[in-house]
């Protein structure tokens, strides 16, 4: 049996409060950043997977999140960042999907026409006019600007883009993997 201490009480699926030091499985398992042996970010995994990598001598703990995992014969700090002992070759280029969450993250949750809170996605060149659903043609927009623009280009609708659509940062996949919130302890490893 494994227990965790040093964290806030969490609700179980039955709505009961569990106290630190007791056996519990939180609804949202904390995540850990896995670094390649070259210190480049490789993936984001549940903390339990990171613990298994460390226990099997495949990774070393680089940073912890303050909690302690207790087992029958061992106590371990809960890893926040682990580094693999052997280099893993990644045969592909990471692709970040063009969706509402990732576009809002890239555009700072602001309408690219007026600066208000974004509510929709907008194709700069409308799909009805041959525009693609790609990073270079999709921006965050508020409902009012999106309705005003309709199926026209910004110049046809009398709107101006605050910033030209761009590709996301190379490390944006980390935010996408964690739902938009990156652990502050990961910043030295994910900033380019």
Which one of 1.10.30.50, 1.20.1300.10, 1.10.3720.10, 1.10.730.10 gives the CATH number of domain 100-157?
1.10.30.50
Domain ranges, ordered by start, for the chain = 3-90, 100-157
> Looking at the whole model, is its pTM more than 0.75?
no
CB 182 within 8 A of CB 190: yes
CB 78 within 8 A of CB 61: no
What are the helix (H) ranges across 77-170? 100-106, 143-149, 154-157
Which tokens belong to 73? 């014969």
- Per-residue pLDDT for the chain (192 aa), expressed as one digit of tens each? 455 655 444 443 444 444 444 444 444 578 899 999 998 888 889 999 999 999 999 999 999 888 888 888 888 888 999 999 999 988 777 788 899 988 998 899 999 999 999 999 999 999 999 999 999 999 999 999 999 999 999 999 999 999 999 988 776 777 667 766 677 778 787 765
């Amino acid at each position: 049996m494994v227990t965790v201490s040093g964290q806030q009480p969490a609700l179980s699926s039955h709505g009961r409060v569990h106290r630190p030091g007791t056996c519990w499985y939180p609804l949202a398992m904390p995540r850990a950043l896995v670094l390649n042996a070259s210190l480049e970010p490789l993936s984001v995994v549940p903390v339990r997977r990171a613990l298994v990598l460390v226990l099997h001598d495949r990774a070393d703990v680089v940073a912890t999140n303050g909690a302690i995992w207790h087992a029958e014969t061992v106590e371990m700090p809960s890893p926040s960042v682990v580094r693999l002992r052997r280099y893993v070759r990644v045969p592909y280029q990471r692709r970040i999907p063009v969706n509402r969450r990732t576009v809002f993250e890239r555009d700072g949750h602001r309408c690219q026409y007026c600066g208000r809170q974004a509510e929709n996605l907008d194709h700069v060149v409308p799909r009805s006019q041959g525009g693609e659903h790609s990073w270079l043609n999709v921006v965050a927009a508020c409902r009012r600007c999106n309705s005003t623009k309709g199926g026209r280009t910004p110049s046809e609708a009398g709107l101006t883009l605050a910033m030209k659509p761009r590709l996301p940062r190379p490390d944006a996949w980390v935010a996408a993997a964690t739902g938009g919130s990156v652990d502050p302890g990961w910043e030295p490893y994910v900033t380019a």
